Structure 1
Amino acid sequence: MKHIFTSTIVCLSLLILLNVQVLAQSHGSIRGLVKTSDGNPASFVNVSLKEIRKGTVTAEDGTYQLKGINQGTYTLQITFVGLQTQEKTISVQSGQAITVDFSLAENTSQLSEVEVTGNNQVVTLGKAGLAPLDMPQMTGVVSSVVIANQQAARLGDVLKNVSGVSLTQQRGGVAETFSARGYSIGIAGAGGNIFKNGVISNTMGFPEASTLESVEVLKGSSALLYGNVSGGLIINMVTKKPKFEYGGEVSMRVGSYGLYKPIVDLYGPLAKNLAFRVVGTYETAKSYRDVVKTNRVYVNPSLLYKLGQKTSILLQGDYLKSDLTPDNGIGSLNANQDAIIPDVPRSRFINTPWAYNNVKQTSGSLNIDHAFNSNWKLTAIASAQGTDVTAYGAGVPNNNVSATGDWTRTLSRTMTSEANSTGQINLNGRFNTGAVGHQLLVGGDIVGIVSKSTAYTVNYGAGKTAYDKINILNPSLFEARTDIPDATATTRTTSPSTRLGFYVQDLIGLSDKVKILAGVRWSQQKTVQTTILNQLTQVETRGTAETKTDAAFSPKVALLYQPTRTTSFFGSYANNFTINTGVDIYGQILKPSIVDQVEAGVKNELFNGRITANLGVYHIVNSDLAQMAPLKADGTANADANVKEFTGQTTSDGLEIDLTGNLSKNFYFITGYGYNYMRYTKASLVRGSPIEGERLTNNPAHTANATIFYTFDLPQLRGLKLGASAFYTGARFGGNNNTYGQTPAFSRLIPLTSFTTIDLSAGYTYRKISILAKVSNITNELNYLIHDRYSIMPIPPRQFVTTLSYRLK
């Protein structure tokens, strides 16, 4: 009831403020367009009045607007990191709007070169194009320059640069899982929290990070814009877009363990209004893990069509073929007691030598942007993605490895497919009601997902119920099998689901210094009853679980105080929701759990945006945590784990700090720190309930990151580039959280120590040719990523990688 009340108050406040009429007509306004020398819009450029502390940044289409300006003469200033400042003298008249346009000396490509990193960039995940100081939420952006300088290949390599975000699991060696603020993004399927160009994406087989334009992160609740997503973070991968000038780059990357990876990036115009881009890579490599190998092909073609000055149509495609060796790490000992990480070489591989996990993925999207005028824009997105996975190998070493290391292996053969489609529409507008300014977003989205999973029976041989036995401590103790048994498909389960949402958000400028952001979303998630096809008889039946529909309102309200044009204080309330399984004591399907979040912080843009300093604190409470009910409706003891009640609670408290500097196009640094305390704060004393006060697994209390790169301009050192990065992950627990009455009574937690990895880079550029080398984990630090109690993966040791590149223009 309290959430319905909050949503109602937010909606009423929004409607009232939209209709406020203020009779202050003694002000004027300034609007305009900033373009590059080749005629393309220059986004995220700083626009300000020199005489007063008032400014903004240009939107994605290069437009800007300054409102509430007193009559008088001013100096209008255009600044951007690494560029020369431009100024124009203007005269503002009461009640009038003047138009002032700028043309930069640089072209689009040159502008991209100096746009180094992005904590001061607009996050496209925000949909409304809010300026960084107007976003009442901690964010992070890692640009293509940082990705290239660090020679990052996987999404996990990139996200280490975002404060408070940690790579917590590498499930089976074929997918990554990330956490922030105590909450995980979940599995790699399209039901997760990773997006590509703003639409939901399946990331099985590892997305190709080395070819991305940027990676964006929204931390905390983002349910207002995206519905049922993690309360910790969502991630958006932004692919490279076509350009109306010829150019590109061809690179060859080689490294330790037989890494060979050519990368091609070509772009240019096909006609006056039509441009293309093709980005692709091929990768083959072995690994620091015995037997493990990688073979990947990725291609990303795109076309951009300018339909006049106001409309653009972007068509993008993706193809990924990722053949990986599934790898559950080194296993753990004493699965029925305290789990112990075995003392074995980092390279020890315990799957079968022939194991495989092959992923084929195709996707396509169509984006249409239409600007009605400089204040109103409509964006429509349609996308589809198909992911097919076929895998075979040893099952997980879970609860069946003895204290001496003996493991009787069974095999797991799977084949899955997932098809997802997305439709999204957003209307963005800027307008005034009297002297009150509005930046409005109205939109809706729908996601349909159909998952199919085929189950198999494995023929181990006459009279055999397992594949073989090995010893994970001493591989020579038993003779391991090397043949591949036949596997017969038995059933195929089809699981459809849909996600639907409508939302409205308004950034309301009450004055130059005070703003309110308010909005609300209605979400519906429908899980359709599964169908099960018997592959042997071709008879189709229905699953036991009936179709389930969940709905929730997700409000957000924030107050921003901006004493200067470079500083913003904010405080906000938002919530998100999680879907529950099971029924209550009366047999009714459980409603979603509402998770409340309060966040406050301060953001600063100093020295014309060259340095950003941001700090945020948060308090997140799930007071509707569903756990097993101790009693049935009639008062008798309950032994059914599917019968639950909303008596549990988790609480997450923490802070995040970012300090970044883009002092010139030759020098930048990125630093960040995150602290989190995520624990169970309420639990019933019933079997299966969590232990009150226990920290949740896979959530380090402390994380930190630091990166610095410098390119010399001195004549004798011109072209030399040096860089260093350090990443710290604090102590945490792996394994599984404990519960009351668990059997056996030993702890299921696996304590993990903190660790730091340090990377050093050096490179040199001569005209169009450059070479960049990196030694990662120079101290050869050893630590582990753990999924549940079985996938214990040692982090990579010291490695070397170098990239030789030729720039076409």
Structure 2
Amino acid sequence: MTTFKTTALACAGLSLLVSNTVQAASDQQNSITDSQNRKPSSAKASHRSEHIHVHADPHSYAATTSSIADKLPTTFLQQTQTTNVVTHQVIEDMTPQTMEDVARYVPGISIGNNFGGTQDDLMKRGFGATDDGSILRNGVRMPTGRNFDLATTERVEVLKGPASLFYGMQEPGGVINVITKQPRKTWGGSLGTTWSSLGGGYGQADVGGPLTRELSFRLIGSFKNENYWRNFGANKQKLVSPSLHYEHNRLTVDVSYEWSHYNNTLDRGAVFSNGKSISGPQKRLDESWTASFGDRHLLSSSLQYRLTQHDRLRLSGGWNHDNYHDRQADPTSYNATTGVLTRRFRSNTGTIRANGYTSLDYISDHVLWGMKHDLVIGADYENRRQDQGTFLDGTRTGGFYPANPVYGLLKPGGSVNTSNSNRHLNINSASGYIKDNIHLGHGLILAPGVRYQWFHINTGNGRPYVQATDSSYTRPLPFIALVYQPMKNISFYGDYSQSFTPNEIDSGSVLEGGYKPTMGRQFEVGARYQDRFLTADVTLYNIHKKNVQQSAGLDDSGNTIQRLAGLVGSKGIEASMTGKLTRHLNILANYAFTYARILRDTPADEGKLVANVAKHTGGGYLTYETPLPWLKTTMRIGAGARYVGRRAGDLNNTFWLPAYTTVDAFASWHTGRLLGHDTSLQVNATNLANKAYFVSTAGTPMRVSWGQGRTVHVGIEVGF
């Protein structure tokens, strides 16, 4: 739980009828705030039917602007694709701990193979994988692992559908951008600590302010040591994150860095036999030494120079490096007659995951031939690298009874798996792109765009090393969208987009069949409504994707078999409502119908539903805020529920995960007059009914992840 002294964004009248001073909403790509004076124009005055209203309320669940679809701030009603924003207030109230928690507030997102609860795998509109590159931090692709941190995150923006136009090698389901907190403009800070009902908890410190008239900084540090929610284990992390902001005349520079050391529980979860779990959520089926651990470094920067009041150049870049290790206790077989589970030790003894990215953009807004153009022209380069060292496999060990487990029988040691060691992946990508939002008048916006994508992929593994792939691919990726805003509160939109990305074989996996990159395309139509701080939208879409990477069980060595399906389709409808119903009430509600299935493949798999993707998901959250009559205290209370429908557990749909509903609640009190400091107290309860449920599978009944049981967090924070 965190209290922030948030400065409300200025309500900017970006009207084409009036000259005004514009303070644009923070740019999602690098969170830079621009100020510019707009002069009146007779050409602009001709577009009287276009309505642009920008509002900002730091306590609203609604975001009235977003930058993820256009690389520049765009008002909600004029966005050319479906976007969802998890605002700072939602994060502050709900205190999500992982990207899986954040996904509860966005329609159409399912949880995939989270590798024993240690990695993000979010399936957007039915598509996604553990290392699909769809999670960004300030616009930079992140490596495998957990990529959300409560202490450093300002908000999260989600772009639905193919996002290759600006974000390159991507799945057709969409991308998620985690935007971090920027340096403080005034001096201030906070200290906070949170206690967990599981035992332990976490704390953080946040301080910053202006060092000079042009230079400001922020320093965030956090520490976590919280017991795992099952019968043993703990999640631990240390984090330090400094950032700098420099602004001089037309030049703006932002630089941020984050270092973290993590040691998290790796829980393979449940084993299914005859369509149900062989044990309950209380007792684990692995050992106390199972964990994923390592060190991660993240660096991002942005340099922006304003050429004129209508033109600017932006140079963005980022680098991240993750030194990863793990120890696994993997189930290999279960005898339903004897009740014995056979397990084995496995370990990645050291894997380096690193991404580097840079882009140069020219951004302008001009009136040409009586039409306003919001133009982005750019080029980017990206390198993705993964090098795995020795992979260990232990012998299969029986004698473990899930009904009455005795731990310590399986020892953490094994021999070298030569075929799965020395894995190497290197991808280089270079592209150029252009997009122009053309304001035609009469409420119409036409947005054409295109990207020319090139990438080279080099993969191999084994001792001795055997090269598997060394190929280059190129492809133009067109984009077109049309927005129609007939009145100030309503707009309609439609778009067509494509995606293109290499298929990446996960560590501990083998590929069955030949290699090809994957391609996707989407048609989408939707409608939006906005009334100040209340927004609502509904979208219908249809996606086709070729050469889809699927998990097809385990081989004799315990490796996950991955193969490419010929064609997978996903179609559905998404609806959401967020924002203020009244001065006291905030709502967050969403629903998604997602029909994702294999359209063309082997006869055994054709027509099967995509694993882990529920047809029906939805949820609602209602929050009430009111002042109290002492010490100028404000109280916020809220509660809500999340429903996830029945899902296929594997490629062949041989077993199913049952539907579930969980209930969460929170209450917070904030005062600015307790001992002369801003002070807040907050209580969050997740899974109040302590519902036993399953989050996802790894495509096999041997690896099914449990959902977390009832957990209560109590936090206090003092500002200064």
Distance 1:763 1:456, change over 3 A: closer
Alpha carbons 1:758, 1:776 under 8 Å: kept: yes
Tell me by how many angstroms 1:291 deviates.
1.6
Aligned to 1:651: 569
Tell me by how many angstroms 1:724 deviates.
2.4
Query: Are 2:20 and 1:45 aligned?
Result: no
Amino acid paired to 1:568? S
Amino acid paired to 1:690? D
Aligned to 2:675: none
Aligned to 1:603: 528
Aligned to 1:409: 343
Amino acid paired to 2:230? R
Aligned to 1:387: 322
Distance 1:70 1:796, change over 3 A: closer
Q: How does 1:143-162 map to 2 (within 5 A)?
A: 143-162=87-106
Query: Are 2:442 and 1:507 aligned?
Result: no
Question: Which stretch of the first structure deviates more once superposed, 124-133 or 567-576?
Answer: 124-133
TM-score (norm 2): 0.86
Aligned to 1:474: 404
Q: What whole-Å deviation, never above 9, does each CA across 1:445-478 have from its counterpart, x for those lacking one? A: 11112211122446x6xxxx434531222325xx
Amino acid paired to 2:694? Y
Aligned partner of 1:322 among 258, 262, 265? 262
Aligned to 1:560: 483
How far apart are the structure 1 equivalents of 2:665 and 2:233? 26
Aligned to 1:116: 60
How far apart are the structure 2 equivalents of 1:615 and 1:775? 30
> Match of 2:276, SS?
coil
Aligned partner of 2:619 among 685, 705, 713? 705
How far apart are the structure 2 equivalents of 1:691 and 1:774? 44
Aligned to 1:102: none
Query: Are 2:307 and 1:367 aligned?
Result: no
Aligned partner of 1:775 among 653, 661, 685? 685
Aligned partner of 2:650 among 722, 736, 756? 736
Aligned to 1:437: 372
Q: What whole-Å deviation, never above 9, does each CA across 1:608-639 have from its counterpart, x for those lacking one? A: x2211211111112367699xxxxxxxxxxxx
Tell me by how many angstroms 1:717 deviates.
9.5
Distance 1:542 1:49, change over 3 A: closer
Aligned to 2:135: 194
Aligned to 1:211: 152
Q: How does 1:199-598 map to 2 (within 5 A)?
A: 199-205=140-146, 207-306=148-247, 308-333=248-273, 338-342=274-278, 344-394=279-329, 396-399=330-333, 402=336, 404-414=338-348, 415-457=350-392, 465-476=395-406, 480-481=408-409, 483-485=411-413, 491-530=421-460, 542-579=465-502, 592-598=517-523
TM-score (norm 1): 0.77
Tell me by how many angstroms 1:128 deviates.
3.3
Q: What whole-Å deviation, never above 9, does each CA across 1:669-722 have from its counterpart, x for those lacking one? A: 21111111112234453xxx5232x22111111111222223213536952423
Aligned to 1:755: 660
How far apart are the structure 2 equivalents of 1:179 and 1:642? 17
How far apart are the structure 2 equivalents of 1:319 and 1:449? 19
Distance 1:681 1:203, change over 3 A: closer
Tell me by how many angstroms 1:351 deviates.
1.4
Q: Considering only CA atoms, is the larger Rg found in Structure 1 or Structure 2?
A: 1
Alpha carbons 2:53, 2:75 under 8 Å: kept: no
Distance 1:374 1:489, change over 3 A: same
Amino acid paired to 2:606? I
Tell me by how many angstroms 1:429 deviates.
0.6
Query: Are 2:55 and 1:80 aligned?
Result: yes
Distance 1:806 1:577, change over 3 A: same
Distance 1:528 1:660, change over 3 A: same
> Match of 1:156, SS?
helix
Aligned partner of 1:678 among 573, 596, 599? 596
> Match of 2:74, SS?
coil
Distance 1:403 1:600, change over 3 A: farther
How far apart are the structure 2 equivalents of 1:730 and 1:347? 22
Tell me by how many angstroms 1:483 deviates.
4.7
Q: What whole-Å deviation, never above 9, does each CA across 1:710-749 have from its counterpart, x for those lacking one? A: 32135369524233242433323242121xxxxxxxxx53
Unaligned runs of 5+ in 2: 27-33, 506-512, 551-560, 673-677
How far apart are the structure 1 equivalents of 2:375 and 2:178? 25
How far apart are the structure 1 equivalents of 2:528 and 2:35? 23
Alpha carbons 2:332, 2:342 under 8 Å: kept: no
> Match of 2:65, SS?
coil
Question: Identity of aligned pairs, percent?
Answer: 21
Tell me by how many angstroms 1:271 deviates.
1.3
Q: What whole-Å deviation, never above 9, does each CA across 1:111-158 have from its counterpart, x for those lacking one? A: xxx253344222346313333222121111112221121122222212
How far apart are the structure 2 equivalents of 1:573 and 1:304? 37
Amino acid paired to 2:209? G
Alpha carbons 1:154, 1:210 under 8 Å: kept: no
> Match of 2:524, SS?
strand
Aligned to 1:695: 609
How far apart are the structure 2 equivalents of 1:80 and 1:145? 15
Amino acid paired to 1:321? H
How far apart are the structure 1 equivalents of 2:337 and 2:522? 44
Aligned to 1:793: 705
Aligned to 1:25: none
Distance 1:554 1:400, change over 3 A: farther
Q: What whole-Å deviation, never above 9, does each CA across 1:474-513 have from its counterpart, x for those lacking one? A: 325xx74265436669653332221222110000111141
Aligned to 1:103: none
Unaligned runs of 5+ in 1: 1-37, 83-113, 535-540, 583-587, 628-640, 739-747
Distance 1:305 1:564, change over 3 A: same
> Match of 1:163, SS?
coil
Name the count of aligned residue pairs: 678
Aligned partner of 2:73 among 111, 129, 142? 129
> Match of 2:627, SS?
coil
How far apart are the structure 2 equivalents of 1:166 and 1:725? 22
Alpha carbons 2:345, 2:410 under 8 Å: kept: no
Q: What whole-Å deviation, never above 9, does each CA across 1:326-365 have from its counterpart, x for those lacking one? A: 11012223xxxx44322x3312111122223212101112
Q: What whole-Å deviation, never above 9, does each CA across 1:571-617 have from its counterpart, x for those lacking one? A: 111121354699xxxxx9865443221100111221xx221121111
Amino acid paired to 1:521? R
Tell me by how many angstroms 1:59 deviates.
5.1
Alpha carbons 1:733, 1:749 under 8 Å: kept: no
Q: What whole-Å deviation, never above 9, does each CA across 1:505-547 have from its counterpart, x for those lacking one? A: 0001111411100001111221125476x5xxxxxx6523241
Q: What whole-Å deviation, never above 9, does each CA across 1:19-49 have from its counterpart, x for those lacking one? A: xxxxxxxxxxxxxxxxxxx9x9956734448
How far apart are the structure 1 equivalents of 2:171 and 2:712? 35
How far apart are the structure 2 equivalents of 1:589 and 1:410? 30
Tell me by how many angstroms 1:403 deviates.
5.2
Aligned to 2:24: 58
**RMSD, aligned α-carbons:** 3.4
Tell me by how many angstroms 1:381 deviates.
1.3
Q: What whole-Å deviation, never above 9, does each CA across 1:250-308 have from its counterpart, x for those lacking one? A: 111111111321111111011111110011210001122122211111121101111x2
